[in-house]
Structure 1
């Protein structure tokens, strides 16, 4: 079949297929207006897929509210292989398709879809074609795009055809434009060879090169292409189809309407529903011969999506109601309950509580399968059918929550506002307050969010103390993020005033909220002990409370207990991976990366942050992206990668400028100051640290942690007076925190500021002793470097060299180039020739290669590694293939003998 004027597009598709046959994967979106030739190019791909197994699916407009309908259609030929997937993924996919109860994490379902496609590709290269992607239900689209962004070395080609409404960040796309005049003329001549010159020129002019218009306009009864006024192209094409439907027998027109309003392409359902309307199966014949319908494989499909639209649009309101009733009447199995509820809802003309209740039940089932967008739509429709105002408001509130969970915050706000106007039930209003507060905070309306939450809690304090407490905890958290001491104190005081009991299970949260208020008020002696108590209790928290464990990990970071924080974060990540909680995983990875950074495990921090950023990008957690990039900026600063550091930090600061979360910007500001300090730009470093400590960050932990850097910059500039404030700040915190590493760093700062040699030496020696009990090698190396410099200036070169060698070794292992160069310079000045250190094997690997290699060294299989890292087993194999030569090994068993940092 010739596709006139699409040589470039066909070549790109052919290259994608050849790549898949060669073992590499790829995805592509064909994007353009209706009729532009997207489906024809998918057909070309199917015809060209010699040696490949094809899977084909499509988005159906009437199925857009049914969660995972499109994904089920695409993967139906592979369902017998679900049992081969890792257990959490198998459960998730079975739940998505209504075969079991699923974890409420739609991205785990995306990983399961990737694994299932990879499983099929084990038999040979795979071609997946998805037409009308803009009409896929949101859950299916998210799952397939999640998988598409992770394709690498599986031998899979994934092609989408979509209009502009299909949002797919991170997936390559090819936009289809109208055919050029030569190709348009050739196509018109092929399909309608006998047109007169005038008509031909008019069609060529008005079609805009749209292939479907070139084919359909000449077929319109009455030659509408002679009309004087041009019509918008999609409408013109649709009207051409409507005119062709009008000449079919009445029974065939009815059959087309039933097929158009059905949402599954089930031939048996369509025929039985048509039978209820007095039309028998023979009516399919004229529609099929006219090219409107195909019954291949026992399923009904339309020749073009606009044919379905035209069949539904030309029917009268009464005709559509009758068809929906007929379809509801034949969908009598339990597994068809959701479809039946939607058809009943479409057939009713007024309020109807039983149908509204059925839709609410359908929404519940959708949420169990992580179909939040579908749940929102079902609940919104249920609310419209609900007779009572209070019950209508409740369903609208539930719909708003589901819409927010699906990421549709603007629509969630509209629904929430409607619900508020309808009802006055305190519990419903409180539920709405939590949602409205969340939306307002995400939009940057911080004060409005705070007031909404406080008012909502006050409204239900006498009716639902736990519900009120949860709203106040949200208020505390929001105020903490934006570093508002007064707001944290107000929320915490109200929380403490609620008559909570042990049965509410919130005692630890209440203590933490009070401690957060104390911390922002500067009362560290009262703030840190409750933090330490919660950290000590973290190990006893039962599984299933992962979010609480992550919150406690953050408190460990504030109290300086990085070792326990690291263990808690790892535990939380293991739970997220095991239970498929992908939505929570980026937060756990963020706190892990921060603790790795604090502990000087910079390579680990970048590895964690790289994986976390990729996942957060996929699932739209923009705050987490900024979080990871601020950590990566810190590591770039330590390693002297100036361009990377500035780019990452400035991007984070710009993000926070529109989303006022002070905690995230702290690391970015610190990174820029540390970069200047490491490069010897002491004045710039001091100015940045001083400005950050005076700004919104002044109440947070970051000014405490960068105070030693601030002090060093001031001393280097000969301005010890400007170190007094930072010293007092760190001294107060270190005394309350009581960690050996903090004591060591405090003595280092005092040594730098000492006015006499004896005083300085006493502090240097105490710093070294305290470091022996601490696990922060980078801070220990900085102390050794500064002490070595002091000893060299005191002409105690032998002692100096001992500390400088130790510092150099640590800096080289950390990749901290500016600091290592300073240590080398000091060693040379102390009279020692410095040889270049041994090559760092792990530094030659990408972050993902390092992750894969470390896991492989423990003996786990590629399939197990893939499940942990949200990759396919073939991608894992590809990373190992690339890593082995870099490491100088040929087998997995050799990995265990390597030092991989």
Structure 2
């Protein structure tokens, strides 16, 4: 019975009942040591009738063994791995050391974890209990948190118990507080009913309502002054240990140092120290150890820490030595025990740790690799090898998402590195850390400086660094820095066989774009698009760069084609790292093409993935696209919220692309609402900042023209008209020529500009632009008192705006149509897609192609049960009852 935990027990009961009903739920229980987290998990296990229980416990001394905790949790269900999609199965088996395959990215391993849990739940609901989550190894924590954030309708309850410091953003959590006086007294009476009254009052006072203290202190408390918890509890365990025979104490110390609880290893190590199996029996009888089959565990996690720290130096030294020999063949654990007995430079231990780090990296255990390499460096006498190991540790720390740690390791490595290649590698690493921290200017300068160090010795490495520097300068809208990178790249005189031609040309074209203006760069950019279109598989970076350039030259069909191919390939193969930027280019192409619902779905998915895998520099761009969609849909609140987030990202990083979308979105919302003065003022202000170098400044020139003319300030339309005219002349695209003619009609007058524009607007190429031309022409005709002609164009505009979901524009067109003499403007036709959430739309579109729930789940990184759940919700919205009926629907392109 748990005292004083009624509310917490109800939360657990609700979670378990939800799993039984097919709903998934997550809870992170926080609390101090001894506060009752483990007991609450025990309650969950006791109440989990009808649910399969999977358990794992983080171990402090096992935190550097990648996927140790995940393997412990999933071990009972690993037979089902073969049912997963092949990329997921391979990733998980590689991570858990079940195959020789190299580890995949952590995103795919997290997805495989989700899929395996969902596959297991197909046989009945399950509950996963993870104790001491603050001690989970980082890769296990990443995989479990990823799965937790995507649980939906699988019938899985997942409960973490952790101390403060365990980060679980976005997950429901609760905190266990100390027991109140009544509950504390009840617990003490239950566990120690015969205490003298004065002693009892002192225990209640010193325990502070901590349940473990209430249980343990009566056994060892004395007249000494109170000590803070959990120190007092650890002291209590230490006192209990001191009363045990020497052999039992040594066996408990062995168990504390041997994290896997392998009975055979403990017996072999104990024999080497002269103690036998009877010592285990004494430790078990004393309430420290528990034996289940061939596994030895501590009754409470704090006992492990107390046992380890109670040992003397010579005892710990002997224990580590014995375990190093007993673990022969278990190389990762053995390496750490060898390191523990190294009293100075020790190349055997250092090499063992280096090999362990390499295995950890192959399994995506970058944090563990960093720790192993750092310790290996401490045991290294050779100066250059020491620098190499510290540098590798810094790279691993950066890969693990720990920029501060990476920075510190890089600085230490810099004290020993003296050859140019090492110096350049460290500069590249420091640049990466600076970028992650938002110091993009610093990152650029470090890359340029590092490239100088190896320009003569290794021009290819220098070229790669300068390409990255150019990309940073482009994102900063910094013409001077971008021009410098381009000049230095040309000076390297790279050969065609170096394979950097496309990247170098991209930097040169980007430099021309910022220095000469977008129009001046178009001729140099077009070949990059064709290069990207010819690549049919792999080379994600080159293809995404090509798609981005396609957007710069106004070829949105090519942009969408290339980026959609990369997205599909990455989704099918589980390659998460490129998905956020691929979704950026895909969603922006869809937005330009008027496919607003698709842009919303893809940008939302990209944002979700960018958040999950930690790509903060992509989130601002995706939020900017979503702000633009919110503006065109007339969602003022959402648009303002997202624009504010973009401004925060820009303030932190200086990266202007997301800001450009957000500021344009705010102006578009003003324009659609008839706030013309505010719109033109806003866009004029935008051009005073870094956005003037972004391609959006070309595209919103037409909005500036319209806002200025409608605000009664045609003089303010001259500059944006000239800006767009220069770009359109270089772009040579029908849609841009049509928009230019529309702008000329507004500024110069002349019906012929409107009619010529409508002839150039291709069917479906950019429907939003066609609708806006129809609207403005209809308005002009109405003012000319040609109402019947006006109504035809206004109806056309209204129909397109309705179809696109451009609500404020449709309202404007409807008002004009009524003013033109149409008593009732046509209402929007029922839109079966409008009520779908972005995720439901993604799932429905994949289901229409005939993919199974499992295949859809693999592509969208959710479980098949979640796919089924969202289809179930989508069917009535679409007016269908089955996949067969769904396949007959025309879902359109928008």
* Map 1:265-344 → 2, pairs under 5 A: 265-333=261-329, 336-344=330-338
Shift of 1:145: 0.5
Identify the residue that residue 257 of structure 1 maps to in structure 2. 253
State the secondary structure of the residue aligned to 1:233: coil
Q: Aligned equivalents of 2:612 and 2:63: distance in 1?
A: 21
For 1:732-811, list aligned pairs within 5 A: 732-755=726-749, 760-772=750-762, 775-811=765-801
Match of 1:128 in 2: 128
Deviation (angstroms), 1:152: 0.8
1:528 to 516, 522, 530: 522
CA distances 1:241-294 after superposition (whole Å, capped 9, x unpaired):
111111111111111111111121211111111111111111100111111111
Q: Which residue of 2 aligns with 1:849?
A: 840
- 2:213 aligned residue: 213
Superposed counterparts of 1:803-882, under 5 Å: 803-832=793-822, 833-882=824-873
CA shift, 1:446, in A, is 3.6
Do the aligned partners of 2:357 and 2:372 also contact (CA within 8 Å) in 1?
yes
Question: How far 1:899 sits from its partner (Å)?
Answer: 3.0
Distance 1:695 1:512 in 2: 24
8 Å contact kept, 1:345–1:355: yes
1:60 aligns with 2:54: no
Aligned to 2:681, the other structure's residue is in SS state: helix
Residue number in structure 2 paired with 1:887:
878
Render the CA deviation track for 1:447-470: whole Å, top value 9, x for unaligned: 332321111111111111111111
Query: Within 2, Cα distance between the matches of 1:293 and 1:366?
Result: 30
State the TM-score, normalizing by the size of structure 1.
0.97
- How far 1:525 moved relative to its partner? 5.1
Worse-superposed segment, 461-470 or 39-48: 461-470
* CA contact 1:67–1:137 (8 Å) conserved in 2: yes
- What is the CA-CA distance between 1:103 and the residue it aligns to? 4.6
Q: SS at the partner of 1:560?
A: coil
The answer for the alignment partner of 2:404 in structure 1 is 410
User: 2:474 maps to which residue?
Assistant: 480
Counterpart of 1:660? Answer: 654
Instruction: Point out the more displaced range, 72-81 or 415-424.
Output: 415-424
Per-residue CA deviations over 1:505-549 (Å, capped at 9, x if unaligned) read 101111111111110012545521232111111132263311221
Q: In structure 1, what is the Cα distance between the partners aligned to 2:450 and 2:828?
A: 62
User: Which deviates more, 549-558 or 487-496?
Assistant: 549-558
* Shift in Å, 1:817: 1.1
1:87 corresponds in structure 2 to 86
Distance (Å, rounded) in 1 between the aligned partners of 2:351 and 2:730: 57
Name the SS for the 2:687 alignment partner: helix
Find the aligned partners of 2:95 and 2:43 in 1 and give their Cα distance. Answer: 31
Does structure 2 conserve the Cα–Cα contact (< 8 Å) formed by 1:784 and 1:803? yes
Task: Tell me, in whole angstroms, the C-alpha distance in 2 between the residues paired with 1:740 and 1:774.
Answer: 12
Match of 2:228 among 219, 227, 232: 232
Note if contact 1:93-1:102 (Cα within 8 Å) is conserved in structure 2: no
Where in structure 2 are the equivalents of 1:472-551 lying within 5 Å?
A: 472-524=466-518, 526-541=520-535, 543-551=537-545
The alignment's TM-score, normalised by the length of structure 2, stands at 0.98
Equivalent residue of 2:174, what SS? strand
The equivalent residue for 1:45 is 44
Matches within 5 A, 1:55-454: 55-100=54-99, 101-220=101-220, 223-224=221-222, 226-228=223-225, 230-333=226-329, 336-454=330-448
Instruction: Call closer, same or farther: CA 1:717–1:218 in 2, change over 3 Å.
Output: same
Distance 2:724 2:520 in 1: 16
Q: SS at the partner of 2:834?
A: helix
Distance in 2 separating the partners of 1:83 and 1:77 = 14
Structure 2 counterparts to residues 715-726 of structure 1, below 5 A: 715-726=709-720
CA positional deviation for 1:337: 1.6
Whether the 8 Å CA contact 1:52–1:127 is kept in 2: the answer is yes
| Cα deviation 1:133-166 (Å, max 9, x = unaligned) | 0001000000000000111111110011100021
Distance 1:182 1:525 in 2: 77
Deviation at 1:297, TM superposition (A): 2.9
List per-residue Cα deviations over 1:770-821 (Å, max 9, x = no partner).
1126711111111111111112222333332222222111100111111111
Q: Does the 8 Å CA contact 1:105/1:581 hold for their aligned counterparts?
A: yes
Which of 614, 628, 631 lines up with 2:625 in the alignment? 631
Equivalence map 1:694-705=2 (5 Å)? 694-705=688-699
Q: Distance in 1 between matches of 2:826 and 2:547?
A: 41
Superposed CA RMSD in Å reads 1.3
Distance 1:523 1:838 in 2: 43
> 1:829: Cα distance to partner?
2.4
Hey, what's the Cα distance between the residues in 2 that align with 1:744 and 1:376? 57
Per the TM alignment, residue 724 of structure 1 is displaced from its structure 2 partner at its CA by 1.2
- 1:59–1:136 CA contact under 8 A, matched in 2: yes
Pairing partner for 1:691 from 674, 685, 695: 685
Q: Is the 8 A contact 2:624 2:643 kept in 1?
A: yes
Q: Say which SS state the counterpart of residue 898 (structure 1) adopts.
A: coil
Q: Does the aligned pair in 2 maintain the 1:376–1:398 contact within 8 Å?
A: yes
After superposition, what is the alpha-carbon deviation per residue over 1:810-849, rounded to whole angstroms, capped at 9, x for unaligned?
A: 1001111111112112222222342312211100111111
Tell me how far apart the structure 2 counterparts of residues 206 and 122 of structure 1 sit (CA, whole Å). 49
Q: Counterparts in 2 of 1:672-687, with a 5 A limit?
A: 672-687=666-681
8 A Cα contact 2:856 2:867, kept in partner? yes
Distance 2:819 2:41 in 1: 70
- Matches of 2:554 and 2:499, distance apart in 1: 26
The CA distance in 2 between the partners of 1:162 and 1:525, in whole Å, is: 57
Supply the distance in 2 between the matched residues of 1:427 and 1:399 (Cα, whole angstroms).
Answer: 16
Cα distance between partner residues in 1 of 2:440 and 2:866: 43
Moved more, 848-857 or 445-454: 445-454
Partners of 2:424 and 2:789 in 1: CA distance: 67
Distance 1:773 1:745 in 2: 14
Shift of 1:668: 0.4
Q: How does 1:555-566 map to 2 (within 5 A)?
A: 555-566=549-560
Post-superposition CA distance 1:451-505 (Å, at most 9, x none): 2111111111111111111111111111111111000001110011103112211
How many residues end up aligned between the 2 structures? Answer: 890
In structure 2, C-alpha distance between the alignment counterparts of 1:320 and 1:572, rounded to whole Å: 54
For residues 536 and 424 of structure 2, the distance between their equivalents in structure 1, rounded to whole angstroms, comes to 29
CA contact (8 A) 1:546 1:575 kept: no
Other structure's SS at 1:295 match: strand
Structure 1 residue 569, shift from structure 2 partner: 0.8
Instruction: Please give the alpha-carbon distance, in whole angstroms, between the structure 1 residues aligned to 2:49 and 2:517.
Output: 72
CA distance in 1, matches of 2:811, 2:765: 23
CA distance in 2 between counterparts of 1:183 and 1:747 reads 79
Q: Secondary structure of the residue that 2:606 maps to in structure 1?
A: helix
